[in-house]
Structure 1
Amino acid sequence: MLPKPLSCFQKWINAPFLFVLCNLFFILRLVFWIDYSAVNLLFSDQWTYLSPLFNRQGIVERFLYQHGPHRQGLGLVLSGMLYENSAWNSNIDSLFITLLLVLANIVFLFFIKLKFNKFLISDLLVPILVLSPIHYETILLAPNSSHSILPLLLISLFCMALHIEHNWWRIILSIVISANLLFTGFGFFFGLLGFFVTFVSEFKREGMGKLQLLTISFLSLIMVLIFFKNYNYSHGTDDFKFLALSFSHLEFITYQWSGLFQIREPYAFISGLLILVLLILGDILCAIFIFKKGNPNYAIPFYLLSGSLIYSIATCVGRVSTGANFAQGSRYMALSVPAIIGLYLLIRMIKGVRLRMVLSFLILFLSIRDIKLDSTHEENLGGFQEMKRRFLVHYSPSKTLKEVEDDSGVILLGASEQRFEYLQKNKLHFPP
């Protein structure tokens, strides 16, 4: 039995009204902030990954389109429909991506409610991280739902799917979601891992027949083969060196994890290293429970932790040459979030009340740093958005791309004269 002060505190942290109120605040704040900050101007990678729309290709081509090392998948299919029905208004896509974050937050919280039967105030780390403005780069600068935001929603749905009691529904939905992750942006790593986790968790369940396991194996193999059909390997940098390991690789990964909580130099390396060690230890613990003790209840924390750790390693391998500070970029944060949620789920499964509360609130305390952007992110976002606004001020339907760039002093990254003229000719995207 808990001491009276601790018991009163526990009642307070279970307060449902406060929990709902905080969630509504984070949702509304994000929606209004995105609506206020969005600038309707295609920028950087958008001019490339929207190629299937420029070429007027169909749904299959959009789904399979490869941009860099990943395919666009479900994201380009959905965003493409929005572009075509809004005269290519990228602000609509920004709000759509915001909606995806809101849905991911709801699904993660719903999963927590199903698993633990009640909410704690420490569960607020989910909306703080998922609905944080730290994801601005793939929402505002160069909106791309496929890159990591839609995969985050699919990851949350996979957690729900693996929690379904009916065997065949659980298997089918887990495979379908994993397949979409495989094809959608950097969800690729979670897609592959999803096939594996589905197989292992079903294998560890009592009474699971060979037919179900064969079905998982067959469908997973088919999806992987389809993904790699006509796949063009791309690592994204010119000086890529596979397995050329150095201290820079460790530094890059640690900066990515400290970057999730906006911890800058001189504490970026040591704090990132501590976070990385905790995540690895949590992942190993989950693996022990699953593979040695045969407990499938740890499959979801294992999936979330392993997926984000693999993603951070892959990011490091492809981008380490850009420098450690680049690892703290906004675009890498969305798919780092699952690991923190996975670690938190593992902590909530601890039986000791005091230890569980201390560790839970430690993660919550770190997450609070993401409620607002730090000065580095604010300057980065503000600079790019101001540059886009300046370009639009000098835009005229009668001007060429070069003329607008010369008048505004802004180079529209990624744009080509041909595609610029295509939008003008068809009266799309730009103001009349």
Structure 2
Amino acid sequence: MINLFDNYGQKTRDLHHSLMASGYNNKTIIVNEDGFLPKRVTSPYAFYIHLYEDDFNPTYFNQIVKPDYWEIRGTNLESGVYDKNMRRANVIYTSNLNSQRIVSRVEWLDGNNGIRSVDHYGISGWRFAQTSYNIKHQKIMTTYYTKDKKEVIVENYQTKNIILNQDGKVIVFKSKSDFVAFFIKSVGYNDDHVLYNSLSVPFLVTYAGDISKKDWLFWQEDIDSNGELPGNMVALLTDIRKDSLVIFQDKRQYDQAVNQHPEYKEKILHIGNVYPITKHHRDKTSRALILTNSDHIEKLDQLVSALPEVEFHIAALTEMSDKLMDFGKIKNVVLHPNVSNDLVDRLRKICAIYLDINHGSEIMAATRQAFLNNQLILSFTETSHGLFTVDNNKFNSEDVRNMISLMNDVSENITSYEQKIIEQHQYNNQTDISSFRNAINSNL
């Protein structure tokens, strides 16, 4: 088997983890390179420019090359390059690493704050690509370089062509799918079985080419609300040339698909994800955690007042405002300004409940990490940030009494708490290794 994925985003990482945890250590190819792929994962771009062959020494925000007398100003969330008071570039951090302020790309701006070019950095620390834009701020092309600045690949977004300079030869591909198919064949990755999770380039590579005989699509998106399946998915399901399956990872989407299209039922499966959930031993379920960089925390005063037996831990990456510091005078509130990563990890271990009730942006992937640390996630509809919160654990802010009632129940009754955790796992399509393996093996 080989895995052929469009991007290495969070859903792809979850699928990849599920496969590896279940013993399927397949060769994994990513169509679009971001510079921060993990070990045993590659892309055509990385292969031809030797992106991951050096020791890893990523670029920090204050190490990027800039003109003399310009300065870099940054926080834990973002940075910029300034010429006096004029912002000349946006410095974007990678989200793939726990370390803060590691550069993923630098967006150079024109006088109207429009992007004119982007420098792409990877985990090895050097600029491996540059994307140019026209005056309408549309992407024109991306050029990929080796560490010694040799131009190897040019991708033109207007003509859709990709030019590869290899061993003194220039090879022109009419499309990205042709480029990827060439890479797979030239490095000997052809296989009789390809797993992919996108109906874009991965589908075109496998469906139109002779890469494989079995194509399995892991579908991680929503289908149309009326149950219509995408055209490429229908083509896959009706293609008699190959042994193809469509695997829905969301049970609700799977049920909708088979109910609307019973004619495809034999070729549609449901397999969830094997999430790396850590089940901490907690001596009680009456501790709640809030991670925030805002002092606007919905109904905090009412929750703290109505739940004196619940210990509220509020943590922020920065200093806290006077408004929030005043809550520290309350007996059942513990404040953690300028919190460290280690302390956040400890708080996740001891707090059984995560309250996603802060306004503003989410920090430290709070809801996802709450799910992975087996915390019960409760939220208001007005403040909900993540996809992991069960629908009936989201409350309208005017219904704060219902949240208080639920928190009372789960903090006093371990059975109720455990049942809510089971519901949370089911809602997020959590499965175990044995079930994942059995579903795969029974269809090989």
Q: Same fold (TM over 0.5)?
A: no
Which protein is bigger by CA-based radius of gyration? 2
Give the number of the structure whose residues are more often helix, by fraction: 1
Please, what TM-score do these two structures have when normalized by structure 2?
0.26
Give the number of the structure whose residues are more often strand, by fraction: 2
- Pick 1 or 2: higher relative contact order, CA cutoff 8 A, min separation 6: 1
